[in-house]
Amino acid sequence: MKILAIDTSCDESCAAIFDVENWKLISDVVHSHVKSMEKYGGVVPEIASREHLKGLPLAVHEALERGHLMPSDIDWFCVTHKPGLIGALLVGVSYAKALAFSLKKPFSACDHIEAHLFSPLLCTIEGKNPPSFPWIALVVSGGHTELFLVKDVLNYEWLGGTLDDAAGEAFDKIGKLLDLPYPAGPQIDRWVREHGTDEDRKKFYFPRAKTDKYHFSFSGLKTAVLHELTKMGSKPNDAVRLSVAASAQEAILDSLIEKVDKAAKEFEVKQIVVTGGVACNSRFRQKLPSAYFPAVRHCTDNAAMVGLLAGLYARQGRLNPMPWNTTASAR
């Protein structure tokens, strides 16, 4: 079975082809629309939707071309239908349904968070050993900060999530306060890694929110950074801005690691997994060396993880086709 997977949950048009029988990723294409968002300092949902209308057909064509395949060679279509930007999701869902309908092939919808959750298993397509179950898994990105207990393949329990801003969103908003270009998360990571010191990371103490159980909160941190910058009166120089960025990054990562460690101890789980866009952060990987971080290309949004998730369901006989006229799309 060859599955064509599509993801348009935010500002990347992603397409991949996954061979379930041979457990092989045939092609994996990501068309990023970050450049279109830079001048706005963030993702504009309407513009993201318009970019997908242009970018998704190109991504699908490229995925087929790389695999030397025709659309008729695809056995099943799978698409992310939640969570994400409603308009962007609708573009992907409508496109996948139209392809499936025209070719008289089945299609299914997948959960974006669940795809991230099992993205560590993408290493198996390269013949590598995945992390051993059970996991304490953190899915952390610009839109999500969710903690899970993963007992086995497709068997997991949600433990908690963010009460307000996601961790990646906090990075981007703090970066905007520091006049860094979008996306600010990677900019902060690179800036602090290349020029920051331990003194910079300790220069300012920003709050680590105290939340119930396994929930997270980052809106207070963003406000604390704003207040600190406001107190300075004039625009801070680059050295001060660097110290603020480094200190804020430590606060975000400390909050994440605290909850992860707490869950690992309570459930007596040794293996920690971190995925999602924020898992690309080099300081995060340095501060949590015992954790399993997927390859960077598998942490950011991609369709390979969607195809793999569909493949996992197919192997268990649980990949159920959805009717072409379904209204269960971007909810």
Compute the chain's Rg from CA coordinates. Answer: 20
Q: For position 324, what pLDDT does the model report? A: 73
**pLDDT at 41 (0 to 100):** 86
* Position 270, amino acid: K
Given this model, what pLDDT does residue 331 score?
A: 37
303: closest CA among 101, 112, 124? 112
CA distance 331 to 328: 7
Q: What is the pTM of this model?
A: 0.94
What is the rounded distance in angstroms from the CA atom of residue 241 to the CA atom of residue 272? 32
Residue 126 token pair: 């390269």
Q: Report the pLDDT value the prediction gives residue 325, as an integer from 0 to 100.
A: 67
pLDDT of residue 330: 40
317-323: Cβ within 8 A, 24+ apart? 318/154, 319/76, 319/78, 319/108, 320/108, 321/76, 321/106, 321/107, 321/108, 322/106, 322/107, 322/108, 322/109
pLDDT in the model for residue 329? 46
Dig out the tokens for 70 from the structure. Answer: 């025709």
Domains identified in the chain and CATH numbers: 2-126+299-315 (3.30.420.40), 135-291 (3.30.420.40)
Q: Are 156 and 148 in contact (CB under 8 A)?
A: yes
pLDDT per residue of the chain (331 residues) written in tens, 0 to 9: 999 999 999 999 999 999 999 999 999 999 999 999 988 888 999 999 999 999 999 999 999 999 999 999 999 999 999 999 999 999 999 999 999 999 999 999 999 999 999 999 999 999 999 999 999 999 999 999 999 999 999 999 999 999 999 999 999 999 999 999 989 999 999 999 999 999 999 999 999 999 989 999 999 999 999 999 999 988 899 999 999 999 999 999 999 999 999 999 999 999 999 999 999 999 999 999 999 999 999 999 999 999 999 999 999 999 989 887 665 444 3
